[in-house]
Structure 1
Amino acid sequence: MIQWPDSVPIYLHRDLVDFRKAINGLAVMVSEEMALDVYHQALFVFCNKTRTQLKVLYWDSTGFVLWQKRLEKDRFKWPKKDPLAVVSISIEQWRWLLRGVDIAKLTPHQSLTFTEVA
């Protein structure tokens, strides 16, 4: 599997997509539906209507790259209930999604910051 840097932003297109779309069609969706800069160093992730395939579009500074994964037996646990058209996830959530974990049901511990020791 391709390894992306831990700092790369990852955006899910929440609605399911017709996978006849290739680079140009997905790039237009990023720009128009997601209202994001398709030339930004980020991963833009799409899921097909049967939730058996993912496509990842990204700009590598020389051209667009389209990565695809197809499941043979199962379905991806795609977030449904978020009202936003774009869902931002962490690299850890991305790895969970690829492994079949329902990221919408996981709640990590709250991050805390302190300025003094009590």
Structure 2
Amino acid sequence: MIVPGQAVRIVIATQPVDFRKGHDGLAALVQNQLGLDPYCGLIVVFRAKRGDRVKILVWDGSGLVLIYKRLEQGSFAWPRVREGVMRLSRAQFEALFEGLDWRRVHSRRVAPPRMAE
């Protein structure tokens, strides 16, 4: 699995897509329907109508990378189907890719330490 850096933006296209689409078809969908630039290093996660399949499109600086995963048992946890995209944190993305319920992954704000007196 290609692990994204901390600063990489990760989004889920919440509506299912036709999984016959390849690199170019998904990049066109990102640009025309979602209004995003598929060539800026953004990671876009796509879902199939069947909840056990995921495609991930990434521009790595030299070309489009397409990752496809099908779970052998169970299905991925997906957000409600609606228009547009939903942003994920890196931890949520990793949980989703592993087939875990990413909705249970939450970041906590930690107060900075006080200066020593």
2:17 touches 2:46 (CA, 8 Å); kept in 1?
Answer: yes
Match of 1:96 in 2: 95
User: What residue ranges of structure 1 are gaps of 5+ in the alignment?
Assistant: none
TM-score of the superposition, structure 1-length normalised? 0.83
**Distance (whole Å) between structure 2 residues aligned to residue 67 and residue 110 of structure 1:** 30
Q: How far off is 1:101 after superposition?
A: 2.8
Q: How far off is 1:42 after superposition?
A: 1.5
**Distance (whole Å) between structure 2 residues aligned to residue 60 and residue 110 of structure 1:** 30
Which contiguous aligned blocks of 4+ residues in structure 1 show a shift greater than 3 angstroms? none
Match of 2:65 in 1: 65
1:55 touches 1:69 (CA, 8 Å); kept in 2?
Answer: yes
Match of 1:108 in 2: 106
Is 1:13 the counterpart of 2:13? The answer is yes
Q: How far off is 1:112 after superposition?
A: 5.6
SS at match of 2:26: helix
Match of 2:3 in 1: 3
User: What residue ranges of structure 2 are gaps of 5+ in the alignment?
Assistant: none
Amino acid at match of 2:95: W
Is 1:52 the counterpart of 2:52? The answer is yes
Amino acid at match of 1:11: V
The alignment covers a number of residue pairs equal to 115
Q: How far off is 1:68 after superposition?
A: 0.9
Q: How far off is 1:110 after superposition?
A: 4.8
Identity across matched positions, percent = 34
Q: How far off is 1:77 after superposition?
A: 0.7
**Distance (whole Å) between structure 2 residues aligned to residue 110 and residue 62 of structure 1:** 35
SS at match of 1:58: strand
TM-score of the superposition, structure 2-length normalised? 0.84
SS at match of 2:65: strand
2:15 touches 2:83 (CA, 8 Å); kept in 1?
Answer: no
**Distance (whole Å) between structure 1 residues aligned to residue 105 and residue 90 of structure 2:** 15
**Distance (whole Å) between structure 1 residues aligned to residue 93 and residue 78 of structure 2:** 11
